[in-house]
Structure 1
């Protein structure tokens, strides 16, 4: 049998605390973008089971509203980095989760390789009534006896088992069940949680469980004799109490200092943070996006009664005139690295091909909705213009000037890009209709992109031009899209 606290338990214990705090703070930043929780993937306004905002919006509201209006700006004291920085919060979250999972895998391997699992894994159902008796003993202000030959009493052992082998895997699984790429390729996986919103709610409750455990764990360390427990946790039982206290407090101070520094750095140098974290996050997202293809086939009965929108339509006489004339004079320009550059009216565009699909929309803020989209497969558009061998990315230009429709210090016409391999997937289309009707203005009329393995911000609305390019470095600010340029999102959006 290994000693009670071998060195690898001490190291992984500290790393788990370190990574969990990063995950919690960055997770709160992600939550602040859509501070509401549902069990229903339709996300009906006003029907959330939890709301962390005073803002109220209804499906029948007389004043037009966008899901961006629901976003909250939370303090950097609790959120990483805070102040409406969803893109950077996601970067921190997805960077950290990879190291947290790696730490957990190393821990589990060592648990079974060293025999430490005897301390953590119950071998008889009697652990349940024994744990209840132990809890009753604690409530009587007494300390229950340890299991003979083991370092924990029954309630501790059962709690650690549930935390390591149930709660942690559940957090990983529910996180994966929020990925648009995973849900598009494996629709059955999301159904295990009742849909993406169920997974999102379970994920939040898991965060609360980890937070509650941390508080309770610290309290129990105090109850069980703080000085001796501290010596075990910090230095695996080696060293004096004074040395242990010094090392432990220094470690906690460094963790606090690290969070202060990264929060300040993230808010002060947002582009640098985006690039630095992107070295870890972007390859992971790109692999997922490339390897999985959407296989969604939802029924008409699944269509959401209300479908949110993200952002406001273009403003100005030119667009208003097109709406008035039902887009008769609209022309879509397709050029760049193609052999057959062309300009298409809506009728000419429809003539290239036709498809229809009922799928789930996944907004980066967290909300979902189901709709039927009909339009032209991007593969047919590419076949018509014939990309050259140098073409690697497709850029979609929109008619909405975000300096007029969003402001908040941001500017420029919206655009987005996807790698050419995504455009060739069967469910990547230029949508012209929604739920059997011409595409509504709020949802991108006359043309919007649909890429069902990606988050909604990649699905450019009000498309007026398409350009095939070799690299996206020379487009806009070089990050691959307006949200990537201005709000520091990741260019790949499969998770």
Structure 2
């Protein structure tokens, strides 16, 4: 069998250069907004195993995790400048192409028999790979394996990248999706938990960069024109032509990155539209994966962790409302004064106190993993009532499609990191009725939810990223259109920043 360079392999090779380079740069943008890696789900401050920032965590009792952003340069990250939402858009756009490309490549390897170029058929390849490495270290070129276009070391390294590292990066990327990680929570725990998965994903990035650096060196050692001609023309009979075409292609790739970065910084909403066309069709399928987590009291954040039994309460993000009304609720312990309003497009508008919510909840609780959009995690035991039960009591009218949640928090007044505006969120009815969508009033059996975590009552959306689990809940309103509210994108950060309402990934 000819194990040369068929046209489809050459096309896939160039597409992968594009996809991996965009994944690396957009991945660095995502990392920059929470540039710390942990082994523990509890992300205890000061316990990270790696950190890529000189910033220190604020000491104030109430602070927003957005204050930990490190603004990586647009020369490195896509798009740079701490624009997490746009970085996520590019990452998921590129993931769509990258996974499609890899699956297609894998199938073609199987059906054409080209898998033999990467999979050893003899144990002799392994000692020969060691000899090939020694040859490289001695600045001599090892010979290809008989009947192959690669030497043994190249065969093993290419096989590892394509058949091991790439599936691993796809798997660890997928299990950073709240919908996937919380639906398949046993697998999440088997993989070591969300933070181990996040760290493994980062190490995959390091693996790609290391491979790329070594690969480039080897291309030059073997002869740049000779090797690049194979990947353009399928042979090395005309190395000048092949090498020139490949070099021009690399130059165009650089231009593509410059254009993408500048376009993104100039018109983020256009990138958002591109994302919605490419990503939403498949990401919306994740609504079919309701959360069904398997954690218990022994897992919750706040229990002793580590060798020194360090404890860390469920992490908060954001500053509580600073109004006389909210301060009065805190002073009086919430129970008698707080009222949750439920209205809008319903048959039976109602108001409920915390005591009435407790009675309706009948002791229901769930222990779940919180996924911050930036990357931190905490496990909390939430007591509350399923939102679907409240909706059944209120009776949504025919045509009701969405649920809107408003908070006591006003961002400009309460959090100096952001511009003004009342904090709100919305969900499609399918998300509102998921079994672990909760209206919570107690955290970790403490009797109430602390102010920093959204007390007295907050929303829990366990298949979505954390900022959509609205804190300091004031009102629930059923609507038949969410796109006519304020900027029409479905939430505060969706309106003012570049975050998709669909936060299942």
TM-score normalised by length of structure 1? 0.96
State the Cα RMSD in Å. 1.6
Q: 1:366 aligns with which of 365, 370, 375?
A: 375
- Tell me the SS of whatever aligns to 1:382: helix
Q: 2:419 aligns with which of 405, 410, 418?
A: 410
For 1:384 and 1:149, locate their aligned partners in 2 and report how far apart those are by CA, in whole Å.
Answer: 72
For 1:383 and 1:330, locate their aligned partners in 2 and report how far apart those are by CA, in whole Å.
Answer: 22
For 1:464 and 1:349, locate their aligned partners in 2 and report how far apart those are by CA, in whole Å.
Answer: 14
Q: 1:458 aligns with which of 468, 471, 496?
A: 468
When structure 1 is superposed on structure 2, of 398-407 and 22-31 the one drifting more is 398-407
Partner residue, 2:154? 156
- Tell me the SS of whatever aligns to 2:438: strand
When structure 1 is superposed on structure 2, of 296-305 and 347-356 the one drifting more is 347-356
For 2:3 and 2:296, locate their aligned partners in 1 and report how far apart those are by CA, in whole Å.
Answer: 57
Partner residue, 2:349? 341
| Alignment map for 1:387-398 (pairs within 5 Å) | 387-398=396-407
- Tell me the SS of whatever aligns to 1:211: helix
Partner residue, 1:26? 26
- Whether 1:15 aligns to 2:15 is yes
- Whether 1:428 aligns to 2:415 is no
> What is the Cα deviation at residue 246 of structure 1?
3.1
CA deviations over 1:57-105 (Å, ceiling 9, x no partner): 38xx465433222221111111111111111111111111111111112
> What is the Cα deviation at residue 272 of structure 1?
2.0
Partner residue, 2:307? none
When structure 1 is superposed on structure 2, of 257-266 and 352-361 the one drifting more is 352-361
| Alignment map for 1:30-41 (pairs within 5 Å) | 30-41=30-41
Partner residue, 2:504? 494
- Tell me the SS of whatever aligns to 1:88: helix
Partner residue, 2:301? 304
CA deviations over 1:3-29 (Å, ceiling 9, x no partner): 521211111000000000111111111
For 1:345 and 1:132, locate their aligned partners in 2 and report how far apart those are by CA, in whole Å.
Answer: 71
> What is the Cα deviation at residue 234 of structure 1?
2.1
Structure 1 pair 475/336, CA: closer, same or farther in 2 (3 Å)?
Answer: same
> What is the Cα deviation at residue 369 of structure 1?
0.7
For 1:308 and 1:118, locate their aligned partners in 2 and report how far apart those are by CA, in whole Å.
Answer: 50
| Alignment map for 1:239-388 (pairs within 5 Å) | 240-288=238-286, 290-305=287-302, 306=312, 307-327=314-334, 328-354=336-362, 355-388=364-397
> What is the Cα deviation at residue 320 of structure 1?
1.5
When structure 1 is superposed on structure 2, of 241-250 and 310-319 the one drifting more is 241-250
Are 1:35 and 1:51, in contact at CA under 8 Å, matched by a contact in 2?
yes
Q: 2:479 aligns with which of 462, 469, 472?
A: 469
- Tell me the SS of whatever aligns to 2:369: strand
Are 2:34 and 2:374, in contact at CA under 8 Å, matched by a contact in 1?
yes
For 1:314 and 1:235, locate their aligned partners in 2 and report how far apart those are by CA, in whole Å.
Answer: 64
For 2:70 and 2:235, locate their aligned partners in 1 and report how far apart those are by CA, in whole Å.
Answer: 46
> What is the Cα deviation at residue 315 of structure 1?
1.5
CA deviations over 1:435-488 (Å, ceiling 9, x no partner): 112111001111100121111111000111111111211112111111111121
Are 1:2 and 1:114, in contact at CA under 8 Å, matched by a contact in 2?
no
- Tell me the SS of whatever aligns to 2:214: helix
| Alignment map for 1:205-244 (pairs within 5 Å) | 205-237=203-235, 240-244=238-242
> What is the Cα deviation at residue 270 of structure 1?
1.4
Are 1:282 and 1:490, in contact at CA under 8 Å, matched by a contact in 2?
no
For 2:237 and 2:399, locate their aligned partners in 1 and report how far apart those are by CA, in whole Å.
Answer: 63
Gaps of 5+ in 1: none
> What is the Cα deviation at residue 262 of structure 1?
1.2
For 2:273 and 2:346, locate their aligned partners in 1 and report how far apart those are by CA, in whole Å.
Answer: 31
For 1:430 and 1:183, locate their aligned partners in 2 and report how far apart those are by CA, in whole Å.
Answer: 21
> What is the Cα deviation at residue 342 of structure 1?
1.6
CA deviations over 1:358-404 (Å, ceiling 9, x no partner): 11111111111111110121122111110011111100001111112
Are 1:2 and 1:115, in contact at CA under 8 Å, matched by a contact in 2?
no
When structure 1 is superposed on structure 2, of 253-262 and 2-11 the one drifting more is 2-11
Aligned length: 492
Are 1:130 and 1:155, in contact at CA under 8 Å, matched by a contact in 2?
yes
Gaps of 5+ in 2: 303-311
- Tell me the SS of whatever aligns to 2:456: coil
For 1:310 and 1:271, locate their aligned partners in 2 and report how far apart those are by CA, in whole Å.
Answer: 26
> What is the Cα deviation at residue 144 of structure 1?
1.2
Are 2:35 and 2:70, in contact at CA under 8 Å, matched by a contact in 1?
yes
For 2:64 and 2:413, locate their aligned partners in 1 and report how far apart those are by CA, in whole Å.
Answer: 15
For 1:405 and 1:200, locate their aligned partners in 2 and report how far apart those are by CA, in whole Å.
Answer: 31
